[in-house]
Amino acid sequence: MSNLNTETVLEVRHWTDRLFSFTATRDPAFRFKSGQFTMIGLPVDEKPLLRAYSLACAPHEDQLEFFSIKVPDGPLTSRLQMLQPGDPILVGRRPTGTLLLDNLKPGKRLYLLATGTGLAPFVSIAKDPEAYERFEHIILVHGCREVAELAYGEDVVAALKAHDFLGEYASTQLLHYPTVTREPFRNRGRVTDLMESGQLFADLGLPDLDPAFDRVMLCGSPQMIADTRDLLERRAFAEGAGHRPETFVVEKAFAER
Ligand code: A2P
C-alpha cells in the first residue's frame, strides 16, 4: 500500500438517503490541484478496495473532503456510508484529472456544469482563489432530480460567501444556479435544456454562450457529458486536455452503480 496514505475520518454529513459527504485528515505532503481526483477506499479482506473520487476541497485547505453517492449493494459505497469520525480511510497519493484551470484558455466567465455528484470537483475549483483571479465570474450550475439533493452545494456556496478570505471573491464573482428536474423549484429543467433555450442565461442576466469569452467545465453522467459536449461543439467550443488548453474540459462523475 505504498502509494496510499491512511487518513482519519473527521466528520460525516448525510444529505439525503442517497448522498453524503465527509472530511478527513490530510498528509501535509499530499499535493493536488483544484479539480483533480484520486483513488480512495477501505481495506477489505486485507486488500484495498478503491474507487476514483474527486477532491471536494481546495489545495490550500488542511483537510480533505469528498462527496459521495450511496449505493446499497455497491462494493465500496455500501461500506463508505457507514464511516464514523475516527475511522481510517485510504487515499491515493497520485491525484490526476482534466478539470484544471490550466487546461482552459484565458476567458471572461467560467461555467462549471455539474449533475449529481459531478458537483465535487467544482467545490474544489470554487474554493480556489486562482479561479477568481483568472475569471470575472464563476457560474456554478448544479442539476439534480430533487431539491434535497442540492443541499450540499447550497451549504458549500453559503460557507464560501461567509468565508473570511474567499468570501470577498465569492460574494461578488460566484453565481450559483441550482436546478431540479423532478419536482417544483424556482429553477427547473436539465442543464442542457436550460442552455439550449437560453433560460439559464436570461435568469443570470448573462449573454448567451460565446467561445470568445466563456470557458466551460463539465462533470456528470456519460449521457449528460455527451449531450453537453454536442451543445458546446455546435457553438464552436473545442475540448481541451493536458498541455492543450482550449475552451472546455470534461470529466465523467465517478459513480459506483
Ligand atoms: P432527469 O430527471 O430528467 O433524468 P442522475 O441522478 O440520474 O445522475 O441525474 C441528475 C440530474 O441530471 C437529473 O436532474 C437528471 O434529469 C439530469 N440529467 C440526466 N441526464 C441528463 C442529460 N443527458 N443531460 C443533462 N442533464 C441530465
**What average pLDDT does this structure show over 164-186?**
97
The structural architecture, per CATH, of the domain 4-92 is: Beta Barrel (2.40)
The rounded distance, in Å, linking the Cα atoms of 130 and 122 is 13
Which CATH architecture describes the domain 101-252?
3-Layer(aba) Sandwich (3.40)
Q: What are 157's three cell numbers?
A: 456556496
The residue extents of the domains of the chain are 4-92, 101-252
Distance 34 CA to ligand 1 centre (A): 25
For residue 200, what are the CA distances in angstroms to 53, 148, 209?
28, 21, 10
Angle at 56 between CA 257 and CA 36, to 5 degrees: 85
8 Å CB contact between 147 and 185? yes
Measured in angstroms, how far is the CA atom of residue 220 from the centroid of ligand 1? 8
Evaluate whether 20 touches 13 at the Cβ level (below 8 Å): yes
Nearest to 76 by CA among 46, 53, 93, 51: 51
Nearest protein CA to atom 27 of ligand 1, as residue = 224
pLDDT at residue 226, rounded to an integer = 97
Residue 80: which H helix or E strand, with range?
A: helix 77-80
Task: Give the pLDDT band (50/70/90) at residue 1.
Answer: low
Kindly indicate the confidence band of residue 102, based on its pLDDT and cuts at 50, 70 and 90: very high
Q: Is the ipTM of this complex over 0.90?
A: yes
Whole-number Cα distances in Å, 133 to 4, 81, 130, 138, 230: 33, 36, 5, 10, 29
Q: What is the mean pLDDT of the chain?
A: 96
Per-residue pLDDT at 10 exceeds 60? yes
Of the pLDDT bands very low, low, confident and very high (cuts 50, 70, 90), residue 257 is: low
Do domains 4-92 and 101-252 share one topology? The answer is no
Q: Which of 18, 67, 145 to mutate to test the pocket of ligand 1 (most atoms within 8 A of CB)?
A: 145
Share of the chain above pLDDT 70, in %: 99
Quote the pTM value.
0.97
Write out pLDDT tens, residues 29-63: 999 999 999 999 999 998 999 999 999 999 999 99
Q: In what order do the strands lie in the sheet with 214-220?
A: 174-180, 137-144, 109-115, 214-220, 248-252
Residue ranges around ligand 1 (CB below 6 Å): 115-116, 143-145, 181-182, 190-192, 221, 223-224, 227
- Report the 10 Å Cβ neighbour count for 158: 12
Cβ atoms of 141 and 174 within 8 Å: the answer is no
Give distance in angstroms: CA of 145 to centre of ligand 1: 7
Residue range 187-202: mean pLDDT, rounded: 98
